[in-house]
């Protein structure tokens, strides 16, 4: 068995290197299910940007964590998974030779999004830290959240308030603009989620945190262009997100659902999956395909799946 694994690793290593979604060697060998056809398609295409960008959708179990590696070397972390996957996430980030995260976006203060943040702050230099301002009544009193605020204070990190219209980055053919939250108060904490539109060349990636119907409706009504090539579905593919009007406005070619294998919530909802399927959207799922990596040169996008999870360390 070991021999077969070693052989597989040896065969697949060049494919991984070719496509650039590079994980630490041992981690890549653990999960060698790679879509080599899309990888070679990406290499064959003419590069619009000098270097490719990698967009990682980490398998953090029942949670969310995504990483952008932009062509100019900047790194952006969106959410940090659960406290259970924190160690694994740090290991994956270090495996990618990351020592500084230029921007960290904590979409909203739920444990499945900020669970690993304490470890992230302790292990990496942080440029800008972005989080929504939550109305006093809704501020979590969890130990996790209060410890995180303490660590931020200790490290002299002041948060930038996430709100619709804020541009976090705009350089070298890439931009990150927030589309939500729009209001100062919501009834559900999920709707405070920072929603980020990431543009890389001519390609767009939308990250919605756990934004649900109320926030999605606000974004649709705002008239701002919501079109994206890849949608990270809101709230782990729950039926309360990826509503018909929002999906139509985004009209992605691919969607990523970040959720845990056999999770207690029944995510993703069968309704969400059928909406996506009937809209002809290619679905990627971290519960079935582990860590997913998209790569783009600004003109085409390729995907790799089956990469190392943050949950297996
Ligand atoms: Zn969540």
Q: How many Å from the N-terminal Cα to the C-terminal Cα in the chain?
A: 20
Q: Which residues contact 256 (CB under 8 A, 6 or more apart)?
A: 57, 230, 231, 232, 233, 284, 285, 286, 292
Architecture field, domain 40-307? 4-Layer Sandwich (3.60)
Task: Please tell me the distance between residue 133's alpha carbon and the centre of ligand 1 in angstroms.
Answer: 17
pLDDT of residue 45: 39
Q: What is the mean pLDDT of residues 82-98?
A: 97
Closest of 50, 23, 75 to residue 297, by C-alpha: 50
pLDDT digits (tens, 9 = 90+) for 5-54: 555 555 454 444 444 677 765 554 344 344 443 433 434 334 468 899 99
Collapsing DSSP to helix, strand or coil, 130 comes out as strand
Where does residue 231 rank: exposed (0-12), middle (13-18), buried (19+ CB within 10 A)? Answer: buried
Helix (H), strand (E), coil (C) string for 236-262: HHCCCCCCHHHHHHHCCCEEEECCCCC
**Residue 235 — very low, low, confident or very high, per pLDDT cuts 50/70/90?**
very high
CA of 63 to the centre of ligand 1 (A): 5
209 CA to centre of ligand 1 in angstroms: 7
Which residues, including other chains, have CB under 8 Å from residue 61's CB and lie 6 or more apart?
A: 81, 82, 84, 85, 260, 261, 309, 310, 311
What is the Cα–Cα distance from 30 to 276, expressed in whole angstroms? 30
Q: For ligand 1, a single-atom ion, which residues have Cβ within 5 Å?
A: 112, 210
Q: For residue 151, report the distance from its CA to the centre of ligand 1, in Å.
A: 22
pLDDT in tens, 258-304: 999 999 999 999 999 999 999 999 999 999 999 999 999 999 999 99
What pLDDT does 21 receive? 78
| Sequence-ordered list of residues with C-beta below 8 angstroms from that of 149, at least 6 positions apart, any chain | none
Ligand 1 centroid vs 79 CA: distance in angstroms? 10
Tokens of 125: 């230099």
Dihedral sign (CA 105, 159, 240, 178): negative
Q: Ligand 1 centre and the CA of 102: distance in Å?
A: 23
Residue 9 has what pLDDT?
A: 52
The whole-number average pLDDT for the span 104-123 is: 98
């Amino acid at each position: 068995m070991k021999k077969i694994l070693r052989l597989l690793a040896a065969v697949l290593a060049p494919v991984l290197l070719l496509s650039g979604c590079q994980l630490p060697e041992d981690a890549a060998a653990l999960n060698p299910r790679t879509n080599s056809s899309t990888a070679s398609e990406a290499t064959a295409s003419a590069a619009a940007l000098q270097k490719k960008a990698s967009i990682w959708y980490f398998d953090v179990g029942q949670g969310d964590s995504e990483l952008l590696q932009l062509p100019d070397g900047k790194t952006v972390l969106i959410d940090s998974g659960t406290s259970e996957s924190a160690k694994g996430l740090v290991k994956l980030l270090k495996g990618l030779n990351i020592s500084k995260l230029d921007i960290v976006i904590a979409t909203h203060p739920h444990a499945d999004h900020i669970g690993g943040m304490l470890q992230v702050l302790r292990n990496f230099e942080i440029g800008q830290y972005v989080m929504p301002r939550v109305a006093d009544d809704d501020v979590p009193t969890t130990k996790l959240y209060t410890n995180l605020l303490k660590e931020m204070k200790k490290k002299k990190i002041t948060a930038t308030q996430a709100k619709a219209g804020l541009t976090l980055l705009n350089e070298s053919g890439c931009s990150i603009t927030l589309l939500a939250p729009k209001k100062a108060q919501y009834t559900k904490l999920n709707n405070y989620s920072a929603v980020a539109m990431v543009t890389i060349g001519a390609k767009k990636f939308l990250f919605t945190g756990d934004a649900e119907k109320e926030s999605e409706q606000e974004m649709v009504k705002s008239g701002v262009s919501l079109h994206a090539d890849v949608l990270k579905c809101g709230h782990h593919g729950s039926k309360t997100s990826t509503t018909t009007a929002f999906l139509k406005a985004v009209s992605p070619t691919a969607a990523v659902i970040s959720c845990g294998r056999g999770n207690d919530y029944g995510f993703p909802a069968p309704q969400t999956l059928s909406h996506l399927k009937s809209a002809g959207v290619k679905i990627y799922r971290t519960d079935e395909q582990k860590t997913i990596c998209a790569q783009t040169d600004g003109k085409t996008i390729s995907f790799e799946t089956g990469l190392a999870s943050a949950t297996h360390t």
